[in-house]
Amino acid sequence: MEVLTVTLNPALDREIIIPYFEPNRLHRIFEREKMNLSPGGKGINVSVILSEWGIDSVSTGFLGGNIGRMIEYEIHRRYRDITTSFVHINDESRENIAVLDECNHTITEINEAGPTVAEHDVTHFIKVFRSLVDYPKTVLISGSLPYGIPIEMYSTLTRIAHEKNTEVYLEARGALLTYSVNTHCADIVRPDLRSDTRIFGKELETMEDYIEAGEKIIEKGAQMVVSSFEIVNDIVFTKDGIWLLSLCDPHVDPSHLLGSGDTYMAAMMYFARKNGPDLLERAKFGMAAALAKTKYLFKKSPTIEEIEEALPKIQIKKIKG
C-alpha cells in the first residue's frame, strides 16, 4: 500500500440534476442517471483520484450508521484500489446534497454537520492509525474535524507518522490549520482558503500577508507550502525560496473549481511517486492537475495525459530566495 488517507468526517455526496429547480414545487426524477451517489470527504476524494490513476491507498477515519455503511459499500463497489479501515461509530455520518440546475445555472447545496465521535472511538482510531501508518510512504490528512475530536488530532497523527518516517500532506483551514502547524507541522501543507482565509489569527489580504504566513509555516518545519492566491495563482514556499506559479491564460470558470484542491494534493503525491522528490516540479504538476480538472463540472478527475498537456500553460517566477 502506497498511501494512507485520513477523512475524519466523511460524507455521502448526493448530486441531483433538476432542470428549473425551485422551492415550493414537487420535482420528480424519472431517469436514474440524473442522480449520482458517491463517497465523499476530502481524504476519500484523494483516494478516489489516486485510484483512477492506478495508485493503491488505504482510507481511514470515522463512519457511522447506515449512511456510513453506504459510503463504505460504495467505495468497495466502485474502486478496487481502495482498502477501507474506518472506525464505525454510533452517530450517523453526514450526507451532502447538491441540486444542479443546468437551465438556471445554479447549484443548491445542503451540507449536514456530521456526527459526534465518542472518546472511546477516538482511542481506538489512534491505535488503528498507528498500525496502518507503518506501511505506506505517504499519509494525507485533509478536511474538517467532526464534533468530539480534539483540535490536537492532526498534530498527534502527524507525530505518529513522523515516528515511522512517513511523509505527511496536510490540507486544513483556519484555527485547525494554525494549531496543527504550530504543534507538529506536516511536510507538505496546503492551506484550504475556500471559506476561511485566516492563518495564525490573521486575515490574509495582500500578497505580503500570504508570503508572511507561508514563510512562517516553513519555519515551523514544513518542506513545502502551496497556497492558492487570487484563484488563478499559487505561491509555493520551500526552504530555498518562494515562487509564483501562474496561468499563461488566466480565464478559468470559478464554478468548475469544485474538488480542485483534492486533485492538486493527489497529483503532487502521484508526481513524487513517479518522478522523485523535486518539490517545485511537484507543485507545478499539482497545479496543472487542478487546471486540467476545471474542464469538468462535477467530481471527476483529469487523466495523466490531460495534466501533462496542461503543464506548459503554467509559468513560474521566483519572487524570493
Partner 1 sequence: MLIKDAMIRDVSAIFEDEKIETFIRISALHLRHVLPVVDEKMRIIGIISEDDVINETIPSYFGLLQSASFIPDTNQMKRKLSEIKDEPIGKFINRNVITIEEEDTILHAADLLLRHKFMNLFVVDKDSRLTGIINRSRILLGVLQEVLEEKAAEEK
58 belongs to the binding site for partner 1 (CB under 8 A): yes
97 belongs to the binding site for partner 1 (CB under 8 A): no
Closer to partner 1 by Cβ: residue 118 or 207: 118
CB of 159 to partner 1, least distance (A): 15
In the set 89, 139, 170, 181, which binds partner 1 (CB under 8 A)? 89
Residues 6 or more apart whose Cβ sits within 8 Å of residue 203: 197, 209
Closest CA to 180 of 202, 210, 197, 159: 159
Stretch that binds partner 1, among 34-42, 85-93, 181-189, 303-311 (CB under 8 A): 85-93
In the set 102, 104, 135, 277, which binds partner 1 (CB under 8 A)? 135
DSSP conformation class of 41:
S
CB of 80 to partner 1, least distance (A): 7
In the set 14, 16, 85, 96, which binds partner 1 (CB under 8 A)? 85
Stretch that binds partner 1, among 25-33, 80-88, 215-223, 273-281 (CB under 8 A): 80-88
Stretch that binds partner 1, among 84-92, 197-205, 258-266, 292-300 (CB under 8 A): 84-92
User: Cα–Cα distances in Å, from 88 out to 93, 102, 145, 282, 318?
Assistant: 10, 37, 16, 35, 47
Exposure string for 278-304, b = 16+ CB within 10 A, e = fewer: ebbbbbbbbbbbbbbbbebeebebbeb
The single-letter code of the amino acid at 311 is L
191: phi then psi, degrees, rounded to nearest 5 = -65, 135
Q: How many CB atoms lie within 10 A of CB 219?
A: 11
CB of 113 to partner 1, least distance (A): 20
**Where on the chain is the footprint of partner 1 (CB under 8 A)?**
58, 64, 69, 72, 76, 80, 82-90, 120, 124, 127-128, 130-132, 134-135
